Structure 1
Amino acid sequence: MLGLPKGEVFLVPWTEGWQREFESEKKRIEELAGAFILEVHHIGSTSVPGLSAKPILDMAVEVESFKLGEACIAPLEKLDYDYKGTAILPDRHYFSKGEPRTHQIHVYETGSPYLEEQLKLRDILRNDEQVMREYESLKRELADAHQNDKHLYAERKTAFIKRILLNE
């Protein structure tokens, strides 16, 4: 159901199991790190019913201040997440789980523009089937063309994402 081997890019059809796994993982995160967090959001393509996705569950953990992201490290490590630091992606603490990777967490300060963009993109894709299908078509094309280069795959989606974020 979940798991993307290192260095590979492929998509699988959306499944309700992703929503169930998110709810289960959210509960575990809140049990261990709830004192430090405001909300756990399901983000990325696995959060959009009907949208094919890389089989990695993406979550955004919202904290009141960026410094509180450090307080999440030990509780998330108890759930088998590996803390990757703050230098991999901008303005977030980043965690991944599994090999092959099954889950990833981005810990954002509330009000972060990156968090706001993630939530806005998710909501647009959930509410506009035409945009979702266009995005899925692009993702399939890119996954086929860049099946061994996740960075190029992600980079080539950027113009489409920026366009739909600006149009809403």
Structure 2
Amino acid sequence: MAKFDPNESFELERYNPEWPQHFEEECHLIEEALGDHVLELNHIGSTSIPGMRAKPIIDIQLVVEAFAPIEEYERLLSGLGYHLHAHKDFDQRDHLFFWKGEPRTHHLHVSEYATWEHYRYLLFRDYLCKHPEMAQQYQAIKQELADAFKAKRPAYTKGKTAFIESVVAYALEELGDE
């Protein structure tokens, strides 16, 4: 059985203009496997932001109307090579997380429609796409953290949290002004 290694080493790579195409190709496979479970598929994470250095892992948000039993997603996605990440600190009531590849190539985040988990990823992505200066700040933070925590993904991820939350707050504020 494949094992999710939270301390798998990583490097940030230059933006690859093929990442959106990789996203589209994977979406086609997911739609075929999950059928009517799929409400939306969104390209999220750093590979969705043009010009952003990123780990070469395509983050995909699968939006569903309502969660099916976890076992159903596991059964349908296992044929594509996805594995459920279950961890004591991971709340599976509002978000499911699957991963694929060794080394990892894809992350699949399953969220219910019209929930905070659904919207926050899109708010973050869209704000950084609209505000390149904030995207540059995020890239600098990511690089600093990647240099410090090359084989400690949890520390790398935790180090980004405050910036991500501030960007989402700015995005909400901007929406309120429109």
The correspondence for 1:146, drawn from 136, 145, 149, is 149
Any conservation in 2 of the 1:9–1:146 contact (CA below 8 Å)?
no
Q: Match of 1:129, as an amino acid?
A: P
Q: How does 1:147-162 map to 2 (within 5 A)?
A: 147-162=150-165
Task: Report the alpha carbon displacement of residue 73 of structure 1 after superposing the two structures with TM.
Answer: 2.4
Task: Give the alignment's TM-score, normalised by structure 1.
Answer: 0.90
Identity %: 37
Aligned to 1:21: 22
- Give the distance between the partners of 1:68 and 1:13, measured in 2 at CA: 38
Aligned to 1:105: 108
Any conservation in 2 of the 1:58–1:104 contact (CA below 8 Å)?
yes
- Give the distance between the partners of 2:82 and 2:155, measured in 1 at CA: 25
Change (3 A) 1:68 1:49: farther
RMSD: 2.0
Any conservation in 2 of the 1:51–1:136 contact (CA below 8 Å)?
yes
- Give the distance between the partners of 2:52 and 2:58, measured in 1 at CA: 13
- Give the distance between the partners of 1:57 and 1:74, measured in 2 at CA: 21
Q: Match of 2:162, as an amino acid?
A: A
- Give the distance between the partners of 1:6 and 1:151, measured in 2 at CA: 7
- Give the distance between the partners of 1:34 and 1:21, measured in 2 at CA: 20
Structure 1: any 5+ residue segments left out of the alignment? none
Q: Match of 1:158, as an amino acid?
A: T
The Cα offsets for residues 96-137 of structure 1, whole Å up to 9 and x where unpaired, read as 111111111011111221221111101111111100001001
Aligned residue pair count: 165
Q: Match of 2:42, as an amino acid?
A: H
Aligned to 1:128: 131
Structure 2: any 5+ residue segments left out of the alignment? 172-178
Task: Give the alignment's TM-score, normalised by structure 2.
Answer: 0.85
